[in-house]
Structure 1
């Protein structure tokens, strides 16, 4: 059995242990693809386009309340008039910035992905957290790496 399969099986076990459905489904799909003759065709496409497709799906899910009429323009106006609304807007800006930095980190250093997933799973198991996604986690890692570089170099 290849190291890639062993690593994925380890991640599958951690996903099951932490009851992290996203990790379990993702790893199971990757193992199924890996163990078929389709992997030389599917993996390159997923590597090139998977992140964009995933972001599109997440964006669609986030915009559903607007599409269904649950959130209206009047509510946006109300949001702009409260301190809590501005805090949420600024938080959204920061999360988008962190996600962008995370995309760059994962593209440039894909070997960090395993550690990021393991850290997320450990946070779910031991800190009762929820898996918010690897892009934000990677973006936070970028900030910590820059701080570390400032003080170590």
Structure 2
């Protein structure tokens, strides 16, 4: 059995144990593509999967504008309230961390193993919510920057 196949089976088992259906479904999909020999799709997913995921996430975040759940009143409240201003700052910080996470994943792709396992452990032991590798990558990049800075 190919080493990558065994690792995917392990991730499926951990995902089932962690009660993370998204992890299980994504891993099963990748495993099926691999077993069918559809390596072109695997390369496509590797190159464009993050952007497609971000596209879907952005659709979900913008939908309340179209459905009328968020209007000008709510937008105005963002700029005149302390929680709204904190949310704006949180968005700026999070997107910067996410950018650093993407750069880290491109520069050190082996680090994704730790982030996936860490995410699954966070689900199992702390009731965490898997929001994807970007925030994990961003926090990892921040922690590595601090670590490297402390080492001089």
Structure 2: distance between partners of 1:25 and 1:102: 23
* CA displacement at 1:82 relative to structure 2: 0.6
- What are the equivalent positions in structure 2 for 1:33-72 lying under 5 Å apart? 33-39=33-39, 41-72=40-71
Report the Cα offset of residue 130 of structure 1: 1.3
Alignment TM-score, normalising by the size of structure 1 = 0.95
* Superposition deviation, residue 132 in structure 1: 2.2
- Paired residues for 1:77-116 under 5 Å: 77-116=76-115
Let me know the Cα RMSD of the aligned residues: 1.0
Residue 150 in structure 1 maps to residue 141 in structure 2: no
Match of 1:128 in 2: 127
SS of the counterpart of 1:129?
coil
Distance 2:43 2:84 in 1: 41
Match of 1:32 in 2: 32
Aligned to 1:139: 138
Report the equivalent of 2:23: 23
Aligned residue number for residue 5 of structure 1: 5
- Determine the C-alpha separation between the residues in 2 that align with 1:67 and 1:21: 29
Deviation of 1:22 (Å): 1.3
Deviations 1:59-82 (A, max 9, x none): 001111111111002210012111
